[in-house]
Structure 1
Amino acid sequence: MERSHGTPRPMHLLIVEYTGTEQAAEPYFRDHAAYLDRHHRAGTFLVSGQTVPTELGGAIVAHGVDRAEIERITSEDPFVQAGVATYRIVTIAPGRSHPVLKPLL
């Protein structure tokens, strides 16, 4: 799906990976949850959750911002600032999608 001017809106798959143990990140869970809530309310984060198994970290689907902006946003995560997690960012130029996603693309 494309926007009216023909350029697909990028989406980003954000993989949150603990740098140590899940227990090392526990003191920052509340601040990380507030960070997630803020970006969900802003409409940038569409889906977020822990991986299965949880000790791997988490994943977020984001949209509506370019690569530079998502890099800035992820650098503000309290997990990143505390050094207990890093992000792997995969930017996607949507090609095929389910019709329910059309308004987002």
Structure 2
Amino acid sequence: MLHVLLVRYTAPIDQVTPHVPGHVAYLERWHADGTFLLSGQTVPDSIGGVILAVGPREHVEKAAAEDPFAVAGVAEYEIVTVDPGRVRDDLRALLPKSH
């Protein structure tokens, strides 16, 4: 499955900032294992960020719960699961084999 993770700050940015190094390390870990395909800040960046992830929803929920932002209570996640109907050929290789 494909998942869009919406990360929304729930605290002022000055309370989020101390957790950025841990959040970056967290992103790098989940990108390295192939769960996260894309991550980035929203525009404007004061809203939070977006992550595109693949795998079973339970696995992605576990990953979201481990984010230092979530652990510290300065951000919350909304996970939207998508069943891709049409996929560009150059992106198909990034998705689980069922698509």
TM range (shorter): over 0.9
The answer for the alignment partner of 1:71 in structure 2 is: 61
2:85 is paired with a residue whose SS is coil
Counterpart residue identity of residue 101, structure 1 = L
Partners in 1 of 2:94 and 2:43 — Cα distance? Answer: 27
1:102 to 92, 96, 99: 92
The answer for the alignment partner of 1:6 in structure 2 is: none
Extract unaligned runs of 5+ from structure 1.
Answer: 1-9
The answer for the alignment partner of 1:48 in structure 2 is: 39
Partners in 2 of 1:44 and 1:88 — Cα distance? Answer: 16
Farther off after superposition, 95-104 or 78-87: 95-104
2:50 to 59, 74, 87: 59
Matches of residues 12-91 of structure 1 in structure 2 within 5 Å? 12-63=3-54, 65-91=55-81
Q: Does structure 1 conserve the Cα–Cα contact (< 8 Å) formed by 2:7 and 2:50?
A: yes
1:97 offset after TM fit, Å?
1.1
Q: Does structure 1 conserve the Cα–Cα contact (< 8 Å) formed by 2:36 and 2:52?
A: yes
Partners in 2 of 1:23 and 1:98 — Cα distance? Answer: 40
Q: Does structure 2 conserve the Cα–Cα contact (< 8 Å) formed by 1:15 and 1:58?
A: yes
**CA RMSD for the aligned pairs?**
0.8
Partners in 1 of 2:41 and 2:94 — Cα distance? Answer: 23
- Please give the TM-score of this superposition, normalised by the length of structure 1: 0.87
Extract unaligned runs of 5+ from structure 2.
Answer: none
- Please give the TM-score of this superposition, normalised by the length of structure 2: 0.92
Counterpart residue identity of residue 52, structure 2 = V
